[in-house]
């Protein structure tokens, strides 16, 4: 703005010349004189072309054709300012009274190129004319008199901003109006740009132009919301004050800044922000006393942002009850998803993980509870680190499923989406775990568990079909609904009841969406159960052989009754392995008959041999003795002896 005032001073000198010579000189000649005067005041080459027209009263004005003001020698060959036309108006009565009051400077189709080098020097900083130059520029119109500018307007302008080391920024279609009627007072500024309408008031505008901090109030209406600021700012870009943002459509609002995101319900499709903000020209933004409402979710806290390049965020947030139950869901109007699921029951809709690439940062969250698409979490203390589209959530505390979880979850979208984690669980209720994660409710009891997993894919279904990893589980007393092992073992009818067990332990591996277990060990009061088989995490099915053993059967040797659990999770078939049951019962009967037959054989053999026989060795020895006796008798008879 200061350089605009200097231009106005130079133009004022030209207008004074015009008053004296307007009837004597053609407009083009006066335009040449004007360009010469502006060049002397700014130290830059200036050209004014086209027809030049004047007005005398009550506004002393000049209207020109194309205007060019050269750039600084270090800022490039393109002119710093180019306009299709320029109009300058001075108050003639004030000029006659010795005051220079520029009522308006208006430019149509202006292109303003602003640049700053690594030393902080701006191309809008003009060289100061020497005393001789000042004297030669016309005594009556000398620059010693104060110049005031009441209105500056740019219509259909384009502003190009180049800061050393940063990407250029170009803003087109700009309409700008600055009203500054009192040189010692405030200025009102109105801006229209790309659907944005902003109005600002800068108190003590003169001090603001000199680089001092001044009171600033801004109200802006954007596509999808509004922004209001009330605080202090300076011309270098530093600002501090209360910031209010109300977004009725956050996606549209962010699109103005070139950010294309599709936010699910709960993550801020609509948002309200109230915060004490402090911004420095090096791109640092500090947020204190922050209240952020994302849809129905309210968070408080503080944050530090670095905006010089890709945004970097450090934040600590607190919340009560949070509802993110629609995150990752498909049936949202904004996303256009159909909400369809694959035949396996998992959704095939693409997961949009592009938000992971929007920023890097470290965000801590403490919440009383969090509702997710899968389950309800209790007290949560987590730190999320985002680095190059990879987010890592480290849980210091996570109350869930009636117990506590700890560990790490990872979402990586650097080269396609993958999710993984390493978690431990303590005292969780397995019925809640299986119900919320798999829709299975027949199994209940407290458990300690651990799991490591990795899934890759662009949809929920693809991730579940690709799961790999390992884990283990240990339980104390629990229940299995839908089967009564005691009734099954005693009567062969075990469906519809409940099995109460004393302990359960198992380990498992996962590959290609299938969980495989080979060592299930289940202990009951009078029974033991072993298990092995496959649980289809991707297909949501099960093929598992469960083998209870009656510990007291068969004289304490045990009786095994295999049970096959097969089918979809929602309605698996629980079928006793009848062939195994019959074989087990037949084995018991066969052993009994065999024992009875052996006893009878021993009895008859003892009678035959005339000696008691209890073992096979005794039987063999008795037979041997009997044979020897019979041989002796035969030989004596042969020899004619008794």
pLDDT tens per residue, range 84-94: 988 877 776 76
Contacts of 125 (CB under 8 A, 6+ apart): 3, 72
Contacts of 601 (CB under 8 A, 6+ apart): none
Closest CA to 520 of 489, 483, 546: 546
- Does residue 553 have a pLDDT over 80? no
Confidence of residue 397 (pLDDT cuts 50, 70, 90): very high
Higher per-residue pLDDT: 503 or 171: 503
Residue 442's pLDDT is what? 83
Residue 637's pLDDT is what? 43
Domain final residue pick, 173, 188, 221? 173
Domain final residue pick, 113, 148, 173? 173
Window from 23-32, 250-259, 396-405 with minimum mean pLDDT: 23-32
Q: Please say whether the beta carbons of 463 and 455 come within 8 A.
A: yes
**Looking at the domain assignment, is residue 238 inside a domain?**
no
Are 510 and 609 in the same domain?
no
Beta-carbon count within 10 A of 530 CB:
16
Q: At CB < 8 A and 24+ separation, what contacts does 219-222 make?
A: 220/196, 221/196, 221/197, 222/195, 222/196, 222/253, 222/256
- Six token digits for residue 94: 């004030």
Domains held by the chain: number: 3
Are 54 and 121 in the same domain?
yes
If residue 479 lies in a helix (H) or strand (E), which one and from where to where? strand 468-483
Are 565 and 590 in the same domain?
no
Q: Which phi and psi (to 5°) does residue 113 adopt?
A: -105, 110
Closest CA to 342 of 457, 434, 456, 460: 460
**Looking at the domain assignment, is residue 444 inside a domain?**
yes
- Six token digits for residue 463: 């991730």
Sheet strands (E) in 206-340 = 214-222, 225-233, 239-247, 271-280, 284-294, 297-306, 312-323
Task: Give DSSP secondary structure letters for 502-538.
Answer: SEEEEEEEEETTEEEEEEEEEE-SSEEEEEEEEEETT
Distance in angstroms (rounded) separating the CA atoms of residues 431 and 501: 15
**Looking at the domain assignment, is residue 229 inside a domain?**
no
Count CA atoms closer than 13 A to 640's CA, side-chain side: 0
Are 117 and 101 in the same domain?
yes
Are 561 and 507 in the same domain?
yes
Residue 145's pLDDT is what? 52
- Does residue 496 have a pLDDT over 90? no
Residue 330's pLDDT is what? 41
Average pLDDT over residues 424-453: 90
Average pLDDT over residues 172-183: 88
Residue 336's pLDDT is what? 40
Tell me which DSSP letter residue 494 carries: -
Are 482 and 593 in the same domain?
no
Are 603 and 556 in the same domain?
no
- Six token digits for residue 62: 């000049």
**Looking at the domain assignment, is residue 485 inside a domain?**
yes
- Does residue 66 have a pLDDT over 60? yes
In this prediction the pTM is: 0.68
Average pLDDT over residues 539-553: 82
Higher per-residue pLDDT: 335 or 123: 123
Distance in angstroms (rounded) separating the CA atoms of residues 210 and 579: 97
Torsion over CA of 208, 213, 217 and 219, rounded to 10 degrees? 80
Torsion over CA of 615, 617, 621 and 623, rounded to 10 degrees? 70
Q: What is the CA radius of gyration of the chain?
A: 45
Confidence of residue 264 (pLDDT cuts 50, 70, 90): confident
Average pLDDT over residues 41-49: 81
**Looking at the domain assignment, is residue 487 inside a domain?**
yes
Q: Please say whether the beta carbons of 229 and 253 come within 8 A.
A: no
CA distances from 247 to 109, 231, 254, 353, 423 (A): 32, 21, 9, 22, 37
- Does residue 245 have a pLDDT over 60? yes
Sign of CA dihedral 207, 126, 143, 19: negative
Are 573 and 627 in the same domain?
no
Task: Give DSSP secondary structure letters for 401-421.
Answer: TTEEEEEEEEEE-SSS-EEEE
Instruction: Give residue 582's Cα distance to chain centre.
Output: 58
Mean pLDDT, rounded, of the chain: 80
Domain final residue pick, 173, 192, 226? 173
Q: Which phi and psi (to 5°) does residue 122 adopt?
A: -100, 150
**Looking at the domain assignment, is residue 180 inside a domain?**
no
Beta pairing, strands 147-149 & 100-108: parallel
Are 592 and 537 in the same domain?
no
Average pLDDT over residues 208-219: 92
Window from 304-308, 403-407, 515-519, 608-612 with minimum mean pLDDT: 608-612
Instruction: Give residue 546's Cα distance to chain centre.
Output: 42
**Looking at the domain assignment, is residue 618 inside a domain?**
yes
- Six token digits for residue 629: 């006796």
Average pLDDT over residues 178-189: 90
Instruction: Print the domain residue range for 598.
Output: 585-638
Q: At CB < 8 A and 24+ separation, what contacts does 579-583 make?
A: 581/492
Distance in angstroms (rounded) separating the CA atoms of residues 539 and 113: 61
Distance in angstroms (rounded) separating the CA atoms of residues 623 and 474: 59
If residue 394 lies in a helix (H) or strand (E), which one and from where to where? strand 390-400
Confidence of residue 134 (pLDDT cuts 50, 70, 90): very low
Are 523 and 619 in the same domain?
no
Distance in angstroms (rounded) separating the CA atoms of residues 310 and 329: 28
Distance in angstroms (rounded) separating the CA atoms of residues 273 and 410: 28
- Six token digits for residue 93: 């009565």
Residues in the chain: 642
Average pLDDT over residues 267-271: 87
Confidence of residue 122 (pLDDT cuts 50, 70, 90): confident
Residue 607's pLDDT is what? 66
Residue 617's pLDDT is what? 55
Are 540 and 615 in the same domain?
no
Q: Helix and strand tally (H, E) in the chain?
A: 11, 35
Burial class (CB in 10 A: 0-12, 13-18, 19+), 470: middle
Sign of CA dihedral 208, 214, 219, 224: positive
Collapse the DSSP code of 339 into the 3-class scheme (helix H, G, I; strand E, B; otherwise coil) and give the result. coil
Distance in angstroms (rounded) separating the CA atoms of residues 391 and 386: 4
Are 453 and 550 in the same domain?
yes
Q: Which phi and psi (to 5°) does residue 525 adopt?
A: -60, -50
- Peptide bond between residue 58 and the one before it cis (omega within 30 degrees of 0): yes
Residue 391's pLDDT is what? 97
- Six token digits for residue 5: 């005032």
- Does residue 339 have a pLDDT over 50? no
**Looking at the domain assignment, is residue 276 inside a domain?**
no
Higher per-residue pLDDT: 597 or 517: 517
Distance in angstroms (rounded) separating the CA atoms of residues 377 and 399: 6
């Amino acid at each position: 703005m200061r350089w605009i005032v200097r231009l106005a001073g130079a133009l004022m000198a030209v207008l004074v010349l015009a008053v004296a010579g307007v009837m004597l000189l053609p407009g083009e000649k006066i335009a040449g004189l004007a360009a010469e005067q502006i060049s002397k005041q700014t130290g830059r080459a200036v050209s004014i072309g086209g027809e030049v027209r004047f007005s005398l009263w009550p506004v002393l004005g000049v209207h020109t054709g194309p205007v060019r003001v050269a750039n600084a020698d270090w800022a490039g060959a393109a002119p710093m300012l180019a306009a299709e036309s320029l109009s300058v108006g001075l108050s003639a009565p004030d000029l006659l009274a010795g005051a220079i009051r520029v009522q308006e400077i208006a430019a149509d189709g202006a292109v303003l190129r602003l640049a700053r080098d690594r030393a902080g020097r701006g191309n809008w900083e003009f060289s100061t004319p020497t005393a001789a130059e000042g004297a030669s520029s016309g005594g009556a119109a000398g620059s010693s008199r104060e110049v005031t500018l009441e209105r500056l307007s740019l219509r259909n302008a384009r502003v190009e901003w180049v800061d050393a080391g940063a990407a250029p920024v170009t803003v087109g279609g700009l309409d700008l109006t600055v009203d500054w009627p009192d040189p010692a007072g405030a200025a009102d500024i109105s801006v229209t740009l790309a659907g944005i309408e902003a109005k600002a008031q800068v108190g003590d505008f003169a001090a603001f132009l000199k680089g001092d901090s001044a009171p600033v109030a801004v109200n802006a209406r954007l596509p999808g919301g509004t922004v209001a600021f009330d605080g202090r700012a300076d011309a270098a870009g530093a600002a501090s004050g209360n910031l209010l943002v109300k977004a009725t459509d956050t996606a549209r609002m962010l699109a103005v800044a070139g950010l294309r995101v599709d936010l699910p319900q709960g993550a801020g499709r609509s948002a309200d922000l109230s915060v004490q903000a402090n911004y420095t020209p090096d791109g640092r933004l500090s947020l204190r006393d922050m209240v952020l409402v994302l849809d129905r979710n309210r968070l408080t806290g503080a944050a530090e942002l670095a905006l010089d390049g890709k945004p970097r965020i450090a934040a600590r947030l607190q919340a009560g009850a949070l509802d993110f139950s629609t995150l990752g869901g498909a049936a949202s109007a904004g996303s256009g998803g159909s909400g369809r699921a694959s035949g396996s029951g998992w959704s095939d809709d693409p997961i949009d993980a592009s938000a992971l690439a929007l920023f890097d940062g470290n965000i801590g969250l403490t919440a009383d509870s969090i509702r997710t698409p899968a389950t309800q979490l209790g007290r949560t203390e987590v730190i999320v680190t985002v680095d190059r589209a990879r987010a890592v959530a480290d849980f210091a505390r996570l109350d869930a499923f009636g117990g506590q979880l700890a560990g790490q979850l990872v979402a990586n979208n650097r080269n396609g989406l993958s999710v993984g984690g390493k978690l431990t669980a303590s005292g969780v209720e397995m019925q809640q775990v299986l119900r919320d994660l798999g829709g299975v409710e027949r199994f209940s009891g407290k458990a300690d568990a651990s799991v490591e997993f990795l899934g890759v894919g662009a949809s929920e279904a693809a991730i579940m079909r690709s799961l790999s990893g390992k884990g283990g589980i240990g339980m104390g007393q629990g229940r299995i609904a839908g089967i009564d092992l005691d009734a099954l073992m005693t009567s062969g009818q075990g469906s519809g009841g409940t099995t109460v067990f004393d302990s359960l332990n198992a380990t498992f591996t996962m590959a290609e969406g299938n969980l495989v277990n080979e060592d299930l060990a289940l202990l009951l009061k009078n029974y033991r159960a072993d298990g092995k088989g496959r649980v289809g995490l991707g297909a949501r099915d099960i093929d598992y052989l469960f083998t209870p053993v009656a510990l007291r059967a068969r004289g304490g040797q045990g009786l095994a009754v295999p049970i096959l659990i097969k089918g979809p999770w929602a309605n698996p078939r629980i079928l006793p392995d009848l062939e195994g049951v019959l074989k087990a019962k037949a084995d018991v009967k066969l052993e009994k008959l065999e024992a009875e037959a052996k006893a009878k054989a021993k009895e008859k053999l003892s009678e035959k041999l005339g000696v008691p026989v209890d073992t096979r060795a005794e039987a063999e020895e008795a037979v041997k003795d009997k044979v020897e006796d019979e041989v002796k008798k035969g030989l004596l008879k042969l020899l004619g002896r008794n």
